[in-house]
Amino acid sequence: MALLEINYQNIIKNVEQLKNNEKKIIAVVKNNAYNMGLEDVVKTLYKIDVNYFATTNIKEAIKIREILGEEVNIFLFNANYDFDILEKYNIEANIPNINYLKTNLKKLKNINLQLEFSGSMRRAGAKNLKEVIDIINFCKENKLKLKGFWSHFAFADEFDGLYEEEKKLVLEVYNFAKKIYKFEVVHLQNSASFLRDGSFEEVTHIRPGIMIYGSYPYNVKNNPSKISYTPYQAFSVKANVINMVTLKKGECIGYSNSYIADKEKQVAVVDIGYGDGILRARLTGKTCLIKNKEYKILSTMMSHIVVDIDENINIGDEVIIYSQKLPIYNYNKFCNSNSEQMAVLNYNSLNLKKIY
């Protein structure tokens, strides 16, 4: 049966590198900590003195509080209207717009708030400097607990000049905002921004996501970084050869003639597929690792893949889909983002092994 192996020691190695800069860390642990297991990840990070966490999900925010107690800070990216829960669990709330404050003023009196500048993401937050000023003034006038200022870069992993433009705008807006209000917490940088620029002078915290779990957020071979970071991938995915089939020239294997042999050859059937959360774009036509050698994947099915092999392969051999040698970021050009590939890993069908 295919295996998902999670190595929490690698998460420690990654974060220790990020802690070498002078800024504190807000660890992004949304979506079950990028599918690496929320409880184990936050416990691991807390042991190495990370005490600030961010997620999009109120249930996850509550779970972090229940796991780690009152010694940590928890920020909820998404706007939330369950104000009793926010107050009870001391969860910092995001301000999506000024109407959120006006409509719920009394309910927000005892809740720590963070002001989002929407920038180029435009999902929520103040859209321009005027709205930022309006929110700050409203909070001051009504004695709301405005704690933080944050933003997010839509183009930090792109190198077409748009990141430089949005960075200039975000910093201009913040540098004006700080003249009229002193924020306790300022976090603007995701993993890609931090890797590209190091930590901004203006921020109190960096806010890494994918770097915590051992992946480059962009292609560092073509585009340089300003910090030293060696990714230790937090997980590996492995399967096994369960059958070997000899195909004659012109014979097919898999659904709808998904592979037709161009000559007589032997192929391996492996017990993993897209039903286990391995994206078809990652598998079909790409490679896997068997006995330290890369082999081409010919066909992908829900529970199986077909691999082009040679005489060195036997039934029962281990087949590696992701590992430190086959890092997830190598497949971004086929599968979009690292986080997308991680998010779909299927805990219900994969065996799970944890290394602490």
Residues forming the active site: 30, 255
What is the Cα–Cα distance from 257 to 33, expressed in whole angstroms?
A: 38
Residue by residue, DSSP assigns 19-61 as TTSSSEE-EE-HHHHHHT-HHHHHHHHHHTT--EEEES-HHHH
In eight-state DSSP terms, residue 257 is G
On whether the CB atoms of residues 45 and 24 are closer than 8 A, the answer is no
Strand, coil or helix: 319: strand
Give phi and psi for 91, each to the nearest 5.
Answer: -105, 125
Instruction: Name the token pair of 59.
Output: 């249930």
Q: Which residues are within 8 A (CB) of 142 and not within 5 positions of it... i.e. 6 or more apart? A: 101, 105
Q: Which residues are within 8 A (CB) of 25 and not within 5 positions of it... i.e. 6 or more apart? A: 15, 18, 19, 50, 52, 205, 206, 207, 208
Strand, coil or helix: 189: coil
What is the Cα–Cα distance from 173 to 176, expressed in whole angstroms?
A: 5
